[in-house]
Amino acid sequence: MALYRAHVLVCKGTGCKSSGAAPVYDALKEEITRRGLDKEVMLVETGCHGMCEMGPIVVVYPEGSLYCRVTADDVAEIVEEHLYKGRLVQRLLYTTPEDKVKIPHYRDIPFYKKQFRIALRNCGYINPDNIEEYIARDGYVALAKALTAMDPEDVLAEVKTSGLRGRGGGGFPTGLKWEFCRRAKGDKKYVICNADEGDPGAFMDRSILEGDPHALIEGMMLGAYAIGADEGYIYCRAEYPLAIKRLGVAMAQCTEYGLLGDNIMGTDFSFHLHVKEGAGAFVCGEETALMASIEGERGMPRPRPPFPANKGLWGKPSNINNVETWANVPSIIREGGEWFASIGTEKSKGTKVFALTGKVNNTGLVEVPMGTTIREIVFDMGGGILNGRKFKAVQIGGPSGGCLTEEHLDLPVNYESLTAAGAIMGSGGLVVMDEDTCMVDVARFFLEFTQRESCGKCVPCREGTKQMLLTLEKITSGKGKMKDLETLEELALMVKEMSLCGLGQTAPNPVLTTLRYFRDEYEAHIKDKKCPAKACSALISFVIDAEKCRKCGICAKNCPVDCIAGDRNTPYVIDQERCIKCGTCLEVCPFQAVSKV
Amino acid sequence: MKIKSLEDLRKIKESSKDLTSARSGGATRVIIGMGTCGIAAGAREVMTAVLEELDKRGLRDVAVETTGCIGMCQKEPLLDVIRPGEPRITYGDVTPADVVRIIGEHLVGGKVVEDKVIGQTD
């Protein structure tokens, strides 16, 4: 094999792909060949690097220079300057938002500096379609170690020692869950991967599936070995076509290398893996609904017990974990449970991947040790709030989570601390909100989502979420009464208490936390008929300041409903009756004469 | 090939190591001046010779980097070698034939090729 002096890594994760990575890759391939560098420069397609905001991302090794927002037009310069002449293309390097410093090396970028990667260790570093790159990074060493030198009980003990807890939301100790399934009676057992990631704004699992599918497969095989299962299912939503494709490639390679199938590595251990595509119902992320869906039934939860560990898929003992949980397992077996337990806090071990989105400068994926504060995540890695606005709240844990405020910024993130504050770890969605976000509207948004996704099997969830949503809509449209807040709280507690599954039990969280921390905003909507963040369209109006108006008429020309009148001699005025509050006049006015009140 | 044992896995790991080795930033670094002056003086040929020699000797843990003009154009092609924990040695007027010596004696053997050295920085 030829020696490549430089490696050019092009992110082809879903984020970078949608911002145009494919033409960049093609242009690089052509330009490198044209300059005769194809024998010494290797072009590699990788999964997500995490800094999706800056995509398409191109990383050049051995220097480790990260280029941001690369287009096909930049390619000739990168090849000529960097690959040929060894000069960094300064204008494409990452620039810090505050002091505009160019950072030449990947690992020095603040976004990456505080990260500690276990689940994402290979994402953006290897070609996910090449099993040999995974093996070169110690892939399948854990499996070989387990099969040749460890009993299933040893593997189980190691996972228990590590203190790993479920990364899908619940936070149940993984080792204990495995043990229940191992001890369950049955000649046939299953392991299942929950890859039905459905929270709005969350894409941790997708990145692992796309960037390092072998880590998930190896993790499941270790779990199967520990539990005594010989068959596994990956339940992945059909909206993740790239993830499904890469899983297919990875599984075919495993079969080819004898890592999937019968008598793996010459031992008695056999394992067969299937991918089941889900149709994207949020409730199928609930384990019993997920298993019903695999069986071909309608995706609806059922009461527990019996727990899946005793009676799961096709009535057999089954163990179900989410993608990130499984992806942590190979590192635990390879490096040891003690090593994993040395990271994180007393009760929450290891790291957690967060999908950072919303009004923050660097949106993307970060993996941090448990116990990192929200401030470090939002300000140090996320680079602070967009456009220098003020931080207001962070919604953590997706539609099942809650909104936390400025006073929680120094809260170390772990399962217990978040639950105590009214949020949950959830799968790790983290939506940042600034002063322009209306908290009542946020609660309405998430409830609209859970209400739509409620499967309808149990009454509290089906009817409760609907009634809560109607009440919230009443408040945001300015028709609310103070009594509605009591109704809302009562309904929320009822739904939380009485729903059959996790969807209903957590759906009221956004309402409860916003009521707890932002009650004044609710009251402003009801008592003063005002939306303090000026976001609820029913409660705001647009006005033109006659003093500032220069009578140019640009607002009137752009108004989609022709409700602005005036001429060269009289200042323009908006007809409030006909105004649809689209905000176009405010955007186009060159003299800032239009304002929201 | 089928992986039948830990040994088989190790073999694949060994043979696929170079796939990602350049990404971990090798222990030893070879830096070639690739400014216009360097290229005009034959830096491309030096680069090719370096890659060939490393390949021939099976040296994988070496990062081969390029750099721009450092101002000493009359001595181009310039080639720097940095071994871990040792000072950076700059060689001048390097020819492909010198490359074989530099890699053999200095990079592998640890003995600086004195007659070609033009500078040293810590």
CATH fold of A6-109 reads: Glutaredoxin (3.40.30)
- How confident is the model at residue A248, as a pLDDT? 96
- Segment A235-239 shows an average pLDDT of 94
Q: Where are the domains of chain A?
A: 6-109, 131-341, 351-434, 439-528, 541-596
Given a cut of 80, whether residue A75 has pLDDT beyond it is yes
Given a cut of 90, whether residue A129 has pLDDT beyond it is yes
The minimal CB distance from A85 to the residues B5, B63, B66 is found for B66
- Segment A241-260 shows an average pLDDT of 95
Per-residue pLDDT tens digits for A490-525: 999 999 999 999 999 999 999 999 999 999 999 999
CATH number 3.40.30.10 is the correct assignment for the domain at B21-121: yes
- Segment A205-214 shows an average pLDDT of 95
Helix axes A204-211, A323-335, angle to 10 degrees: 60
Euclidean distance between CA atoms B38 and A468, whole angstroms = 72
Euclidean distance between CA atoms A353 and A324, whole angstroms = 8
Amino acid type, B61: D
Say if B13 is an interface residue toward chain A (CB within 8 Å).
yes
Given a cut of 70, whether residue B51 has pLDDT beyond it is yes
**What 3-state DSSP class applies to B121?**
strand
Q: How far is residue A94 from each of residues A16, A45, A53, A63, A445, measured CA to CA in Å?
A: 16, 20, 11, 14, 34
Q: How many residues does chain A have?
A: 597
Given a cut of 70, whether residue A1 has pLDDT beyond it is no
Given a cut of 60, whether residue A119 has pLDDT beyond it is yes
Answer yes or no: are the C-beta atoms of A501 and A512 closer than 8 Å. Answer: no
Residues of B in Cβ contact (< 8 Å) with A255:
none
Percentage of the residues of chain A whose pLDDT score is greater than 70: 100
Say if B70 is an interface residue toward chain A (CB within 8 Å).
no
**What 3-state DSSP class applies to A93?**
strand
Residue A515 tokens read as 């009521």
Amino acid type, A134: Y
Answer yes or no: are the C-beta atoms of A321 and A177 closer than 8 Å. Answer: yes
Per-residue pLDDT tens digits for B64-110: 888 888 888 888 899 999 988 888 999 999 999 999 999 999 988 88
Euclidean distance between CA atoms A367 and A413, whole angstroms = 12
Q: Where are the domains of chain B?
A: 21-121
Q: How far is residue A103 from each of residues A82, A90, A111, A382, A407, measured CA to CA in Å?
A: 15, 9, 11, 16, 32
- Segment A136-160 shows an average pLDDT of 95
Q: How far is residue B71 from each of residues A83, B49, B88, B94, B95, measured CA to CA in Å?
A: 20, 23, 17, 16, 19
Say if B71 is an interface residue toward chain A (CB within 8 Å).
no
Q: Do B9 and A138 touch (CB under 8 A)?
A: no
Report domain A351-434's class.
Answer: alpha beta
Euclidean distance between CA atoms A74 and A262, whole angstroms = 49
Name the pLDDT band for A379 (thresholds 50, 70, 90): very high
Given a cut of 90, whether residue A5 has pLDDT beyond it is no
The mean pLDDT of chain A is 93
Euclidean distance between CA atoms A154 and A510, whole angstroms = 41
- Segment A45-62 shows an average pLDDT of 91
Per-residue pLDDT tens digits for A155-198: 999 999 999 999 987 889 999 999 999 999 999 999 999 999 98
CATH fold of A541-596 reads: Alpha-Beta Plaits (3.30.70)
Per-residue pLDDT tens digits for A390-430: 999 999 988 888 899 999 999 999 999 998 888 888 888 89
Burial A570-592 (b: 16+ CB within 10 A, else e): eebebeeeebebeebbbeebeee
The mean pLDDT of chain B is 87
- How confident is the model at residue A335, as a pLDDT? 96
Answer yes or no: are the C-beta atoms of A594 and A543 closer than 8 Å. Answer: yes
Percentage of the residues of chain A whose pLDDT score is greater than 90: 82
The minimal CB distance from A257 to the residues B3, B33, B65 is found for B3
| Helix, strand, coil percent values for chain B (each to nearest 5) | 50, 20, 30
Element (H, E) at A534: none
Closest CA to B49 of B92, B104, B96, B95: B96
- How confident is the model at residue A2, as a pLDDT? 63
Higher pLDDT, A200 or A230: A230
**What 3-state DSSP class applies to A546?**
coil
Report domain A439-528's class.
Answer: mainly alpha
ipTM value for the complex: 0.84
- How confident is the model at residue A92, as a pLDDT? 95
Amino acid type, B120: Q
**Most A CBs within 10 Å, among B8, B9, B32, to test the A interface:** B9
Give burial (CB, 10 Å; 0-12/13-18/19+) of A341: middle
Q: What are phi and psi of A277, to 5 degrees?
A: -90, 125
Given a cut of 80, whether residue A77 has pLDDT beyond it is yes
| Helix, strand, coil percent values for chain A (each to nearest 5) | 45, 15, 40
Say if A1 is an interface residue toward chain B (CB within 8 Å).
yes
Q: Do A85 and B34 touch (CB under 8 A)?
A: yes
- Number of Cβ within 10 Å of residue A36's Cβ equals 12
How far does B112 lie from chain A, in Å, by closest CA?
A: 23
**What 3-state DSSP class applies to A441?**
helix
Answer yes or no: are the C-beta atoms of A175 and A429 closer than 8 Å. Answer: no
Across the beta sheet with A231-237, the strand order is A272-278, A231-237, A190-195, A318-322
Euclidean distance between CA atoms A59 and A367, whole angstroms = 19
Given a cut of 80, whether residue B27 has pLDDT beyond it is no
Given a cut of 80, whether residue B26 has pLDDT beyond it is no
Residues of B in Cβ contact (< 8 Å) with A121:
none
Q: Do B16 and A133 touch (CB under 8 A)?
A: yes
Q: Say which CATH architecture domain A131-341 belongs to.
A: 3-Layer(aba) Sandwich (3.40)
Per-residue pLDDT tens digits for B86-96: 889 999 999 99
Q: Do B35 and A85 touch (CB under 8 A)?
A: yes
Q: How many CB pairs under 8 A join A and B?
A: 108
Euclidean distance between CA atoms A140 and A509, whole angstroms = 40
- How confident is the model at residue B3, as a pLDDT? 87
Given a cut of 90, whether residue A465 has pLDDT beyond it is yes
Residues of B in Cβ contact (< 8 Å) with A87:
67-68
Residue A69 tokens read as 């927002």
Q: Do B25 and A64 touch (CB under 8 A)?
A: yes
Interface of A with B in 109-148 (CB under 8 A): 125-126, 130, 132-133, 135-138, 140-141, 144-145, 148
Euclidean distance between CA atoms A232 and A169, whole angstroms = 21
